[in-house]
A and B are shown apart, each in its own frame.
Chain A
Amino acid sequence: MAQGQRFVGRSVGDRVILGCVILLAVVWLTPIAWVVILSFKSNSELMMTTGSAFRLPYTLKNYSDVLATSGVFHWFLNSVIVASGVTIATLILASLAGYGFARTQFPFRNTIFILVLLGLAIPEQAVIIARHQMFTDWKMHNTYTALILPGLSNAFGVFLMTQYFRSIPRDIDEAAMLDNASRFKVFWRVLLPLTIPAQATLGIFTFLGAWNDYLWPLISATKPEMFTLTIGIASTQTNFAQSEGLGFLMAQAVFAGLPVLIVYLFFQRYIVQAVAGAAIR
């Protein structure tokens, strides 16, 4: 009732915006719901018609097939190690770099910052052959190091953290320094805790990027024991999965997407805060 009154009390503009948001949410969620529904249907039934999606029978076989795939839990573990490794290392490096660019003076600071930003304009595909060659020379393919290292050159992370540090009033640093705090202590104890929303955003985006990464693991992790979940699951698809193995394909998509969904659910507050904050700034 109270909620109904709250809605009635809104202006026409608010209601229009709310309606648009609901419409967008439906448009956004419909394909996801479709994927989930199809994942509970048998492959043979879907091959003949997807019109049966809203009719019984439903089955859990696609999910049991995903779980019965030898290697799937190993691939999951590989993805956890790689995505966590990339995320933690990125947060450390981007925070340090962001603090450096925002708060310290050193020769060619602005030039170096621009060079870092130029990294945003270079697509991965443009450097991937050279990178593959480099890791070949180092004999590092099919290792966790090879999967983690390229993810650490994160220009967006450095930019985000620099902007966030810049938005924090310098008075705070100066007050801490007047209390005899060292520069590292100011960074570690005073400023870093204030950047948690930005860290959360960067962490989530980095984790998701690393989790969903396909191209680099495809050509670096070529042994099944080193596959990440994206590569491993793709390898299990039959040649005409889009028609002959549709239910299995959808179950794979749900299985691979669940960790991402969980990360969003846990950290959505920080994402909203940070994105809203970045927009205001």
Chain B
Amino acid sequence: MKTLRTLLVASAALVGGATMALGADKTEISVARFFGACDADYGKVTDVSKADGECGIITAMINKFNADSPTTHVKVDIVEWPGYDQLTARIRSGEPPTISVMHESVISDYQSRGLLEPLDDGLKAVGVDTSDFTAAAKEGVTKDGKIYALPFDTHTWLWHINVNLFKKAGLVDGSGAPILPKSAAELLTQAKQFKEKTGKPYFIMVLANETAAYTRTFDTLLYQQGANFFADPTKVNFTSPEAKTALTLLKTLYDNGDTTKNEDYAATVTGFAAGEGGVMINGTWLVDNYIGESKKSGVALSDGYAVVPFPQLYANPKVWADGHSWVILKANLSDAQRKSAYEFLKFLWDNDFQWARTGHLPTSQKVITSAAFLDLPFRKALAPLSQNGTALPAGVKRQFGVQDIEGEEVGAGMRGDKDIDTALASAQDRINKLLANAK
């Protein structure tokens, strides 16, 4: 009996030791990300297909990676969105994470200061085919001819449509699909008709407490007119006729009462669900939420939701776009850590489809043309955005700052706080001052 007990203890010690040794063999890398924490629902989920939403899917993905990888353990550092103050502080204090999520519009700020590793060779070595990147993704992560991030998604600007109200307004075709305007004039005519027939504004727009929405819509109208407002990445030009046309259209919609007013982000999201207007201009990230709402009975969107890319009102079908991507911060990484970092990036790339279930567009051409993706609701209509999604030129620095200033001034012009020429001149002047100081 005593011998048996000794054997059992020895075996347990051996197994425990072996397990510890196995754990110790894994190389740990830190990954900083936003998207929130959802441990309660997904803390132990490793089947990614069973996860939903940004937080759920990324949590399950990393759980799966940690469970499957024999060599690497990812330690997750979750930060509040967008997390760049914290990231900069970590870099400055010499303790950067190995990998960080980063908006493509922000990459220039870090790349120009030599804080990011170029990834071309590393991605190639682990089998990530960079020629498979979509056009929007490739443009977003390429700086000075080198790839500085693994693109994870393209998110862009859509029209979320209340088809029930469109029907009431007589703005659906024979198949029940919403009729979309093909020009600014048509848009104004439709908006007038919509208001007369439904008593509600055509648009639900985020016009309070947020600048980004103004910028995204304004940029889209500029791109569609072919305006090259950042011909020189260090100077913006908003004195063009195209800029005046775009802001005049927005102001006309506002003055005509064709949009809700004074609503912040949250108010527009609930307002659209409550049927306060026909079209909510917002991003890819809301698609799944409204699909879910449209499946309920007795609500404003019951069997009456559609989503399309921002319609082409001018010569080009281009639409504002940005993307989430993953960067490796320059640090004294060991060979094992670098190898683990690329192993993780490859894993993320291989799971691009799973991430696309959030509503964002995939960055792999193979995924975006796959039946699995196109079979998801509305994705056939949205897929062209991987080509038409347009970001500011890679050389433009401080893009978040530019977005804020532009949004403030466009908002002031749209609401009539400033006349259009003054607002545009002010935006140009303030942005150029910002960029003059950007290093």
Contacts and interface: CB of A to CB of B under 8 A. Distances in A.
Nearest to B89: A219
A56 interface: no
Interface stretch (B34-42, B303-311, B328-336): B34-42
A142 B36 contact: no
Contact of A239 (B35, B86, B94): B35
A231 interface: yes
A147 B49 CA distance: 41
A242 interface: yes
A142 B90 CA distance: 10
Contact of A236 (B36, B95, B270, B299): B36
B434 interface: no
Query: Closest 8 CB pairs between A and B?
Result: A238-B36, A68-B40, A219-B89, A236-B37, A234-B80, A243-B269, A48-B273, A65-B40
B89 A132 contact: yes
| Chain B CB within 10 Å, residue with most, of A220, A235, A241, A245 | A235
Interface of A: 44, 46-50, 61, 64-65, 68-70, 132-133, 135-136, 141-142, 218-220, 222-224, 231, 234-246
B78 A236 contact: yes
Given A69-B39, A219-B85, 9 more contacts: A61-B40, A65-B41, A68-B43, A69-B37, A136-B94, A222-B95, A236-B78, A238-B35, A239-B36
A253 to B, nearest CB: 14
A241 B40 contact: no
Contacts of A237: 36, 80-81
B170 interface: no
Nearest to A222: B90
Contacts of B92: 132-133, 136
Interface string B72-89: 000001111100011001
Contacts of A219: 85-86, 89
Interface centre among A69, A135, A142 (most CB of B within 10 A): A69
Contacts of B89: 132, 141, 218-220, 222
B266 A49 contact: no
7 contacts: A47-B269, A70-B39, A132-B89, A222-B86, A224-B78, A235-B36, A244-B289
A50 B273 CA distance: 11
Nearest to B268: A243
B285 A240 contact: yes
B302 to A, nearest CB: 12
B77 A224 contact: yes
B43 A70 contact: yes
A141 to B, nearest CB: 5
B12 interface: no
B39 A47 contact: no
Contacts of B265: 240, 242-243
A46 B78 CA distance: 25
Contacts of A70: 37, 39, 43
User: Could you say which of A241, A242, A243 has the most chain B C-beta atoms within 10 Å of its C-beta?
Assistant: A243
Nearest to B56: A238
A86 B386 CA distance: 52
Contacts of A65: 38, 40-41
Contact of B273 (A49, A135, A136, A224): A49
Given A48-B274, A219-B85, A235-B78, A142 B95 contact: yes
Contacts of A222: 77, 86, 89-90, 93, 95
Given A68-B43, A243-B266, A238 B93 contact: no
B86 A69 contact: no
B88 to A, nearest CB: 8
Contacts of A220: 89
A49 B274 contact: yes
Interface in B314-364: none
A235 B80 contact: yes
Nearest to A141: B93
A245 B94 contact: no
Of the candidates A46, A222, A223, the one having the most CB atoms from chain B within 10 angstroms of its own CB is: A222
B258 interface: no
B291 interface: no
Interface string B51-70: 00111000000000000000
Given A238-B54, A246-B266, A231 B80 contact: yes
B295 to A, nearest CB: 12
A243 B93 contact: no
Contacts of A132: 89, 92-93
Nearest to A224: B77
Nearest to B34: A239
A254 B194 CA distance: 43
B404 interface: no
B117 interface: no
A142 B79 CA distance: 15
Interface string B246-271: 00000000000000000011100110
A49 B270 contact: yes
B293 interface: yes
A243 B149 CA distance: 29
Nearest to B97: A222
A64 B40 contact: yes
Interface in B93-129: 93-95
